[in-house]
Amino acid sequence: MLWVLALVNLGWSVEAYAGGTALSMQEDGFSWAGNVFMELGRMKAYNLADNSVAEQFWVRFLLLSGLGMTILHLMWLLNMRVHQARLFAGAAFLLVALGAFHSYGLRLYPYDTAYSQFYVFWERMAAGYAFGAMATGVAMKIEPDCRQFHAYAWWGVGILALFHLSLVKWGPEMWSAPAMLTIHALLEKIVIASYIGVWLMHLRLRYKKLKGNTASFQPDSAC
């Protein structure tokens, strides 16, 4: 249910965005190739219209998705059977929980009125989730109940997220050129879609296992 609510709030935030991009302030609505999701956290959009409604939905998406990820990683930690896998699952849980905690800072410091503070919290949130994904991959590589594909999927997501974080932190500014804005905007959406993809994969597997365990009274497993 948390995931459904999170995605619904993201959709409402995109729909409510007042308009404008970093390079074209007069555009209407949200541009998938010209806006990054972070800009949904603006109190006023680039076209100077009020954007508080979109900002509220955006913050709810962050909080609900962060809570959902934290719960999911806690479930994995509790169900890992190999000691080394539990160590990496514990590290992943702490990193993801730290990322989720910092997502609240994006509510305290809006993108347009307190960008420096906003960026600090965004960077820590993104780093927590990215390194958490890498640690999750290691845990699932070690845990015999998990398929190798699970580990590779999480490593792929982690590498994509770290690449995106590195681009934002050390690469050219997204508003430096139209092509760079498009790269930033599309890469961010690919990263978020990748996270959603692995979450849905595991939720589907867990649902199938819960049905099977109910029927056969077998113990639960990590993946």
Q: Considering the entire predicted model, what is its pTM?
A: 0.91
Q: What is the pLDDT of residue 219?
A: 44
Q: How many residues does the chain have?
A: 223
Cα–Cα distance between 148 and 73 in angstroms, integer?
18
Classify residue 57: in a domain, yes or no. Answer: no
Classify residue 91: in a domain, yes or no. Answer: yes
Q: Which residue has the tokens 């347009």?
A: 112
Give the percent of the chain with pLDDT over 90: 81
Classify residue 39: in a domain, yes or no. Answer: no
Cα–Cα distance between 115 and 8 in angstroms, integer?
26
What is the three-class DSSP state of 170?
A: helix
Classify residue 19: in a domain, yes or no. Answer: no
Classify residue 49: in a domain, yes or no. Answer: no
Is residue 160 very low, low, confident or very high in pLDDT (cuts 50, 70, 90)? very high
DSSP state of 154: H
Q: What is the pLDDT of residue 192?
A: 95
Classify residue 41: in a domain, yes or no. Answer: no
Q: How many domains does the chain have?
A: 1
**pLDDT score of 214 more than 70:** no
Q: What is the pLDDT of residue 216?
A: 42
- Give residue-wise pLDDT tens across range 98-108: 999 999 899 89
Residue 19 phi/psi, 5-degree rounding, is: 130, 160
Classify residue 198: in a domain, yes or no. Answer: yes
Residue 220 vs residue 146, higher pLDDT: 146
**pLDDT score of 19 more than 70:** yes
Residue 142 contacts by C-beta under 8 Å, 6 or more apart in sequence? Answer: 82, 84, 85, 88
Strands (E) located in 63-208: none
Residue 49 phi/psi, 5-degree rounding, is: -80, 155
**pLDDT score of 208 more than 60:** yes
Cα–Cα distance between 142 and 82 in angstroms, integer?
8
**pLDDT score of 172 more than 90:** yes
Partnered with residue 50 across adjacent β-strands are 44
Q: What is the pLDDT of residue 202?
A: 80
Q: What is the pLDDT of residue 221?
A: 60
Boundaries of domain holding 197: 64-216
